[in-house]
Structure 1
Amino acid sequence: MSDSSRDTAEGAGWGAAERGTYRALVPARTEQLSWLSPKTLWAARNGVLASLFGDPTGRTRARWAAQRAAAGAPADKVVRRDDPDRFSFLVIGDTGEGDEPQYAVVPGLLKEGRDTRFAVLASDVIYPVGSADDYGDKFFRPYRDYPAPIYAIPGNHDWYEDLGGFMRVFCDDAPPLPPEPAARPLTGAWLRSLLWHRARPDDGRHLDEARKLRSAPGQQAVQPGPYWAIDAGPLRIVGIDTGLLGTVDAEQGAWLREVSRGPRPKILVTGSPLYVDGEHHPCAIEGGGTVDDIVRDPAHRYVAAIGGDIHNYQRYPVEVGGRTIQYVVAGGGGAFMHATHTIPRVSVAGVTEDDFRCYPLRGDSLAFYSGLYGRRLRLRRFFTLTQDEATAVVTERLGVRPGRAPATAARVTRRTRLVAGLLGTGRRPDRRRRFRLPVRKLYTQVFSPGSATYSPPFFKCFLRLDVTPDAVRLRCHAATGNRAQEVDPPVEDEVTIPLG
């Protein structure tokens, strides 16, 4: 097995390594999506409109569910497969920017996933707004050689055109919804409707041609709607749709309670992680209760909850009533990298820093961003930190053990401390500051979306889950963009989850 980022800097993708073969897969004309472009931000405005004038997602989702039921989808929204008691599947989160970082994941994914029974895309299948005509280069082409079915749950970006593209691709070419009645003038709903982004009338004209890239019988999958359950071997996988704002409507909440009953072990896949960046986000259900209430109920037998939306890997083993539930963030499937060096020292729900895992390591994340902003601001000598310098200053600020033993002893200087602070490196919770800039929030909302680069290391990842009647082995595999990690994708984290 090849070195991981926890072993060596080369295992993380640093150094003068040979570039991977993924570049041969990338289309000749590739869009380099800019999240700082006014055009992109304007197209993706529906999330802001929903937060200001009311979120119509639940009502629209219910209409999609009713349409699928009328078309013959199972009332319980359960896909019943014939998988054996021992099988494997993949989980890939936040994939579809359609550029080099997404395609860099493909060679390792095909190698590690060649014997898997299916894959699940966890959130944000297509950026920026889920258009049907973007599926060609951002879904069908990258996964054309994956031989098994692919199921998906939508993320907020898939909802920016009312989920039309997603439903056409994953739900038996569902026809467009009829328009809703006009809202009363001068109401919030009326203002929202005036500004609401909608799909082009001719969107999807290239979809039939794109489907030919994944047309083999063994690749086909039809799911009951944007939320579903899959019975596979001894396991039930439950996928929920958290819409534009990371919440669940009452109808889906009632379904989730019903489908979670019974003794079968379960894994939740959600568009919004329940634990992320050292914080608990239980995910509210309209009418009362939370998704995490359902996950924690021992009668429901959830063993893990995997969420996308945040573009890195994190794992929190939370003790609940004498058992451990693995809460995982798995959003590193292709989109820009969300920083991990901004995560403070972890202490949440009994999970300490010693229990917590993330990829990329915080030191690698800080080194990546210091180099990026050194280049952009033309201040390389000031901003750029070596991997060992970044690891040393993160270790000092958080008071934690380094994720990787440094190759050379690096001294923490005033400059490295200042750069780490400017770039939002987390601090110990017991360290007080009179003035606190909202750097973590800025990194998530502004700096990270502008961090896409097109040369390794990319710090992407995917999950392989190996299921037996007794346990699930979950492994996080890295994709750096270098040839060495394509040939033998390193394991950045591994945990065995009992099903008993």
Structure 2
Amino acid sequence: MYSARNPKVTGPVFKKGQPDDSYKFQYPPLPSGVYPYHLNLPRSAHADQRLVFNLVGDTGGLKSPDFQRQIAEQMGLQYKLEEHPPEFLYHLGDVVYHFGEREQYETQFFKPYSHYPGPIYAIAGNHDADVNPDNPEPCQSLDAFYEVFCNTSPKTVYFSGGAARKSQVQPNVYWTLNTELATIIGLYSNVPKFGCITSEQKHWFIKELKRAGAMSGKALIVCLHHAPYSADTNHGSSAAMIRFLESAFEEAGVYPDVVFSGHVHNYQRFLKHYKEKSVPFIVAGSGGFDELHVLAEVTDPQFTQEDELLEGVELKAYCEGHHGFIKVAIEKEEEHLTLTCEYYTLAHNENDPAQPARLYDRFTIDLKGEDHFSCPELEGQV
């Protein structure tokens, strides 16, 4: 909660004195599919009227696996019980911790999501891509991630512990999911703490933005693991990701309708004001890792909000004390298109761990009009 004694910041921050860890950069594997790395979502009966999906990041967990299991179960309940259930889960990275090793996937991914009924797509996080130098079985960065998510055909994953879920067929570590109502561009931001994106990927991204901008009647969603904007005390904002996105948007002349990221273990909703329109930037990294990240206090000398890269960005809502996940619904009525994003949190009730997730925050974007608008927070800040 905000308090007069220790007020939280009201916008994104940079953490001072961060060391340069760019040496952790890992070259990704070659694409498993063909350029320009598109995957078409199978068409449903209502594909041209409605698209609903779950979205979550940082689900892996070693110390307290109950959180990731409960998140998976709650998303599975939405899939089974709602009138308009989600069609798939889009994962924002850090599927497993602390290294992206094959032996981590059975307990941190396949078992918790054994009852999630739908397909699971993903972009890789820094932990998925990092390599354990002490592992006696040599491997390259993203070897296991590719076998699970970027295979050439749906196959049984031999290190899944016999799970029924087959491998996904994403064409590359950065790729685009095409649907009837949305273009979802997934970026790969590598291993360093604040991310690193190659010039080759930037060139591809600008082309994808231009392609999406030339289409009418679709939402444009950008997903990446490292959060461009954050007010937390563990990471703070990423100057590298802000510069990358701002440069790409400006060169393409196209701005997305919403940007989703993980990496930071909480929920934050920012609104970035451009001349063209205002764009929500959502942090959704509270998907299961036991350690949640808190927001900086105004008086904390380790952080600063005084930087031109942070100008025009407002913190509209946050949740730092509960694990949670997102449901996105894109709906079309005649020529009117809206995108609604809802954030649900676990109750964290030890006496009733199966208590249903509660709706914590909701915002809606009118994709056909000039104005973007948000609904007031349902719960405030926690």
- Give the shorter-chain TM-score range: 0.7 to 0.9
1:244-323 equivalences under 5 Å are 244-245=191-192, 246-262=195-211, 263=213, 264=215, 265-277=219-231, 280-283=237-240, 290-295=244-249, 299-323=253-277
1:179-198 equivalences under 5 Å are none
The amino acid that maps onto 2:361 is D
Q: Select which of 133, 143, 160 maps to 1:210.
A: 160
Matched, 1:75 2:35: yes
The equivalent of 2:146 in structure 1 is 167
The amino acid that maps onto 2:240 is C
Per-residue deviation, 1:207: 4.6
| 2:25–2:191 Cα contact (<8 Å) kept | no
SS at 1:302's partner residue?
Answer: coil
Q: Select which of 190, 206, 227 maps to 2:174.
A: 227
1:94-493 equivalences under 5 Å are 94-98=58-62, 99-114=65-80, 115-161=85-131, 162-172=141-151, 207-208=157-158, 210=160, 212-215=162-165, 221-245=168-192, 246-262=195-211, 263=213, 264=215, 265-277=219-231, 280-283=237-240, 290-295=244-249, 299-344=253-298, 348-352=310-314, 356-360=316-320, 365=321, 459-469=322-332, 470-482=337-349, 486-493=354-361
Q: 1:75 to 1:341 in 2, by over 3 A?
A: closer
Q: 1:209 to 1:350 in 2, by over 3 A?
A: closer
Per-residue deviation, 1:142: 0.7
SS at 1:74's partner residue?
Answer: coil
Q: 1:281 to 1:221 in 2, by over 3 A?
A: same
SS at 1:488's partner residue?
Answer: coil
| Whole-Å separation in 2 of the counterparts to 1:281 and 1:314 | 15
Per-residue deviation, 1:80: 1.4
The amino acid that maps onto 2:111 is R
Task: Give runs of ≥4 in structure 1 deviating > 6 Å.
Answer: none
Q: 1:211 to 1:344 in 2, by over 3 A?
A: farther
Q: 1:300 to 1:351 in 2, by over 3 A?
A: closer
Q: 1:134 to 1:280 in 2, by over 3 A?
A: closer
| Whole-Å separation in 2 of the counterparts to 1:129 and 1:240 | 19
The amino acid that maps onto 2:188 is D
SS at 1:496's partner residue?
Answer: strand
Give the unaligned 5+ runs of structure 2.
3-18, 132-140, 300-304, 369-382
Q: CA RMSD in A?
A: 2.9
TM-score normalized by structure 1?
Answer: 0.56
Find the structure with the greater CA-based Rg.
Answer: 1
Give the unaligned 5+ runs of structure 1.
7-47, 175-205, 366-458
SS at 1:275's partner residue?
Answer: coil
The amino acid that maps onto 1:226 is V
| 2:93–2:225 Cα contact (<8 Å) kept | yes
Q: 1:207 to 1:220 in 2, by over 3 A?
A: closer
Per-residue deviation, 1:212: 3.7
Q: 1:64 to 1:237 in 2, by over 3 A?
A: same
| 1:136–1:211 Cα contact (<8 Å) kept | yes
| 1:302–1:325 Cα contact (<8 Å) kept | yes
| 2:25–2:190 Cα contact (<8 Å) kept | no
TM-score normalized by structure 2?
Answer: 0.73
Aligned sequence identity (%): 22
The amino acid that maps onto 2:340 is R
SS at 2:240's partner residue?
Answer: coil
The amino acid that maps onto 2:296 is T
Equivalences, count: 308
SS at 1:165's partner residue?
Answer: helix
Higher fraction of strand: 2
Q: 1:173 to 1:166 in 2, by over 3 A?
A: farther
| 2:100–2:129 Cα contact (<8 Å) kept | yes
